Amino acid sequence: MVRTVRPSDADRLRAKPLSVPFNMVLVEPEIPPNTGNIARLCAATATPLHLVGALGFSVDEKAVRRAGLDYWHLVQVHRHLDIEHFRHAHPGSRCVLLSAKANRSYLDAEFRAGDALVFGRESVGLPEDWLLDHEDDVYGIPTLGGVRSLNLANAAGIVLYEALRQVGALSAVFRG
């Protein structure tokens, strides 16, 4: 009989957390599973999660447990009334706006530790006036097929891991 040896949780590929982490900012998220997946991404990368404005769902303990968000307790979750409240709380964070309406690829962005990666609502994205007022800070993910945009959670993962790669956070990996 052949036994499969499963590595313990302590024996996974790891990297050291950043001393100045990125900030994942979701503006008025509407779909609980997207926010749950992004919360797990944040837990895996030691990235604070900022929820801005009205949410399309509850994040109380009962709702989180019911949605199966078993990593919620590992995430630094911050609530903000609006984007100005976030900016006031994090004056050193440069806001990098992510939008399907961007003219430049996220691969052209020069990410810096501490940047705020700002994503809009699933249905409409970020407000048009933000995109116009900050067009030098707007990036998107190119698609090859005919879809309008990527799923919010997928987009957040793609951009965050590219940002982590650019600042060298994934260079020194270890098993642990």
- Across the chain, mean pLDDT equals 89
Note the pLDDT of residue 136: 96
Q: Write down the architecture of domain 23-141+148-169 according to CATH.
A: 3-Layer(aba) Sandwich (3.40)
Q: In this model, does residue 149 exceed pLDDT 90?
A: no
Residue ranges per domain, the chain? 23-141+148-169
Q: In this model, does residue 68 exceed pLDDT 90?
A: no
Q: In this model, does residue 93 exceed pLDDT 80?
A: yes
Higher pLDDT, residue 134 or 172: 134
Q: Which of 51-55, 145-149, 157-161 has the highest mean pLDDT?
A: 157-161
- Name the pairing type of β-strands 13-15 and 173-175: antiparallel
**Taking the CB of residue 120, how many other CB atoms lie within 10 A of it?**
25
Q: At what angle do helices 152-166 and 32-45 cross, to 10 degrees?
A: 20
Helix/strand number for the chain, H first, E second: 5, 8
CB-CB contact of 47 with 23 (8 Å): yes
Note the pLDDT of residue 64: 60
Q: In this model, does residue 6 exceed pLDDT 90?
A: no
Centroid of chain to Cα 31: 14
Q: In this model, does residue 85 exceed pLDDT 70?
A: yes
* Average pLDDT estimate for 11-35: 91
Q: Which two tokens stand for residue 168?
A: 């060298």
What are the residues whose beta carbons fall under 8 Å from the beta carbon of 134, sequence distance 6 or more?
95, 97
Q: In this model, does residue 67 exceed pLDDT 60?
A: no
Q: Which two tokens stand for residue 130?
A: 């933000």
CB-CB contact of 56 with 31 (8 Å): yes
Q: Which two tokens stand for residue 161?
A: 């891991």
Q: In this model, does residue 33 exceed pLDDT 60?
A: yes
User: What phi and psi, each to the nearest 5 degrees, are found at residue 154?
Assistant: -65, -45
25-29, 67-71, 155-159, 168-172: least confident range:
67-71
* Average pLDDT estimate for 6-24: 83
**Taking the CB of residue 135, how many other CB atoms lie within 10 A of it?**
12
